Amino acid sequence: MLGSLAEGVTEVQGFLEGEDALATLNAFRQMGVRITGPENGKVTIHGVGMHGLKQPDQPLDLGNSGTSMRLLSGFLAGQGLDLTLIGDSSLSSRPMRRVTAPLAEMGAQIESTESGTAPLHLKPVKELRGIDYEMPVASAQVKSSLLLAGLYAEGETCVTEPAPTRDHTERMLQGFGYQVERTGGKICLKGGGKLLACDLDVPADISSAAFFLVAASIAEGSDLTLTHVGINPTRDGVITILRQMGADIEVSNRRDVGGEPVADLRVRSAKLKGIVIPEDQVPLAIDEFPALFIAAACAEGETVLTGAEELRVKESDRIQVMADGLQVLGISAKPTPDGIRIQGGTLQGGRVNSEGDHRIAMSFSMAALCAQATITIDDCANVDTSFPGFVEFARKVGLTISSMEETQ
C-alpha cells in the first residue's frame, strides 16, 4: 500500500504469497500501479506518488481480507476516486462500521449495507479533515485505517488506543519517511506529506509461527527452531502466554530488520498447565488464540480467557467454532460472551468444521498431535489466505497430514 503511493521504487523481500496479500497487490494494479512479482518472495512496486492512483474500471475484490478492506477504506477515502470494495461471503459479513463511522467524522463518504457490511462504496470528496479519535475498543485495523486516511487530511489526525495494538503501520510509515508522533497510547500524524520508496525485508509471520510453537510444545520429544520470525512487542503475546503455561521457548539471535525486531525461536516439548490469561495480553495475541486453545486443551487444568469479544467477529465466531470443535474431540470448552473456559484433557479423534476459517483449520491440524485418533477438518479452502503451502510445511516438520485433494 505505502510503496504504491511512494516516490520511487520499493523492493520487497519475503513477500507472503497468501491470497490476502495477492488481493491487495491486484487492487493497486487495477488503480494503475506497476508491480512485478511475486517471484521467489520478491515484489517490485513502482510508486505513483501520493495522488497518482487512477480510477479502476471495476470493483476492487479483496477476497477474504478484512485487513485489506479496513485499511483501504481509510487509505482510499481521500483519493478523490469513486471506488467499490467487495469481498467473499465471509468478508461481506464482517462489521465495517467501526472503520466507516470515524472515517465519516473525517469527511469521508462511504456507503455500506444496512447492517454496516461490505460492499463499501467510497465516493470522492474534496478533502478530509483531521480528527482526534479515542477508540472504544483496541483495534490495530481501525487505528491504521484512520492514520492512513490522515495522510490526506487537513491538519493533524490523532488516534488514542485503550490498550496497545500492533504497531506495524506506524513503523512502516516511518520507514517510508513519514513523521509519526507517539505519546503513550496516542498516535498522531499531519496530512500533506509524502512517502519515499525504500527496501523492505519482511520477517516470518508470528501468527503462522504460532501453530508450530504450540505443535512443538504438545508433541512429545519435539525440538524445533523457527528462524527470522518477527517478534514485534505488540505481537508477541503468544510467546508470553505459552511461557506462562510452561512452554519451553528460547529466543535467540535478536536483531532489527527494517525497523522490526526479529529473532529465532527454539521450542521444545513441555508439560503445559492451564492459566488465567492476563487481559493485557489479549490484544497482543488476538489472531493466535485458536492455536492457544489447542495448547489449553492439551494442558493440565483449566485455562480461562476473558476480554476477547473481538474473536467473535473474525473470519468466523472463533470462540464458538473452536468450542464446538473441542467438544467434538471430547474436551470441556465453555464459551462466554468475551472468552472461553477450557478444561485440559485427552483429545479424541473426530470430525470438526472450521467454518471456512483458515486459523481454525490449521489449529485443529495441530490438535492431532495429542489426539487418540485421526482428526478430519472440513471447509479448509481458506488456509491459503494466510499460509500457502501449509500442508507441505507441516509434513516437513513431522506431522502426518494430508488434504482431501491428495486422498481422492
- Bridge partners (DSSP) of residue 371 are 347
Stretch 47-54: mean pLDDT: 97
Stretch 321-345: mean pLDDT: 96
SS3 97: helix
Q: Which of 61, 236, 287, 357 is catalytic?
A: 287
Contact call for residues 131 and 106 (beta carbons, < 8 A) = yes
Per-residue pLDDT tens over the stretch 112-166: 999 999 999 999 999 999 999 999 988 899 999 999 999 999 999 999 999 888 8
Instruction: Judge if 69 and 132 occupy the same domain.
Output: yes
Work out how many domains the chain is built from and give that number: 2
Per-residue pLDDT tens over the stretch 269-315: 999 999 999 999 998 999 999 999 999 999 999 999 999 998 987 87
- d(C-alpha 139, C-alpha 135), whole Å: 8
Instruction: Judge if 188 and 321 occupy the same domain.
Output: no
**Region class of 91: left (phi > 0), else alpha (psi between -120 and 50), else beta:** alpha
- Weakest-pLDDT range from 287-291, 377-381, 400-404: 400-404
Instruction: Judge if 177 and 253 occupy the same domain.
Output: no
**Region class of 49: left (phi > 0), else alpha (psi between -120 and 50), else beta:** left
Stretch 6-14: mean pLDDT: 96
Instruction: Judge if 244 and 329 occupy the same domain.
Output: yes
Q: Please report the pLDDT score of residue 190 as a whole number.
A: 97
Stretch 384-402: mean pLDDT: 87
Q: What does each C-alpha distance from 192 to 69, 123, 127, 141, 156 come to in angstroms?
A: 23, 20, 11, 22, 10
Q: Read off the DSSP letter of residue 112.
A: -
Residue at a domain's end among 142, 174, 200: 200
Higher pLDDT, 257 or 326: 326
**pLDDT over 50 (residue 407):** no
Instruction: Judge if 137 and 224 occupy the same domain.
Output: no
Instruction: Judge if 234 and 189 occupy the same domain.
Output: no
**pLDDT over 50 (residue 85):** yes
Contact call for residues 215 and 400 (beta carbons, < 8 A) = no
Contact call for residues 33 and 9 (beta carbons, < 8 A) = no
- d(C-alpha 299, C-alpha 274), whole Å: 6
State the burial class of residue 52 (Cβ atoms within 10 Å of its Cβ: 0-12, 13-18, 19+).
Answer: middle
Instruction: Judge if 108 and 224 occupy the same domain.
Output: no
**pLDDT over 50 (residue 216):** yes
**pLDDT over 60 (residue 388):** yes
**pLDDT over 60 (residue 406):** no
**pLDDT over 70 (residue 404):** no
Residue at a domain's end among 146, 176, 200: 200
Instruction: Judge if 141 and 265 occupy the same domain.
Output: no
**pLDDT over 80 (residue 16):** yes
- d(C-alpha 377, C-alpha 326), whole Å: 12
Instruction: Please give the residue range of the domain that contains residue 279.
Output: 206-407
Instruction: Judge if 160 and 11 occupy the same domain.
Output: yes
Instruction: Judge if 223 and 113 occupy the same domain.
Output: no
Q: Please report the pLDDT score of residue 208 as a whole number.
A: 93
Q: Please report the pLDDT score of residue 256 as a whole number.
A: 87
Stretch 191-208: mean pLDDT: 94
Stretch 393-405: mean pLDDT: 84
Contact call for residues 310 and 321 (beta carbons, < 8 A) = no
List of E strands, 27-184: 34-39, 42-46, 60-61, 83-86, 109-111, 120-123, 128-129, 132-134, 153-154, 156-160, 181-183
**pLDDT over 70 (residue 172):** yes
Residue at a domain's end among 200, 218, 242: 200
**pLDDT over 50 (residue 408):** no
Instruction: Judge if 182 and 322 occupy the same domain.
Output: no
Instruction: Judge if 151 and 244 occupy the same domain.
Output: no
**pLDDT over 60 (residue 405):** no
* pTM (two decimals): 0.81
Q: Please report the pLDDT score of residue 205 as a whole number.
A: 92
Q: Residue 91's domain is classified under what CATH number?
A: 3.65.10.10
Render the burial of 166-189: b for 16+ CB within 10 Å, e for the rest: bbbbbbbbebbebebeeeeeebbb
Q: Is 287 a catalytic residue?
A: yes
Per-residue pLDDT tens over the stretch 19-39: 889 999 999 999 999 999 999
**pLDDT over 50 (residue 389):** yes
Q: Please report the pLDDT score of residue 164 as a whole number.
A: 86
- Weakest-pLDDT range from 24-28, 102-106, 395-399: 395-399
**pLDDT over 60 (residue 371):** yes
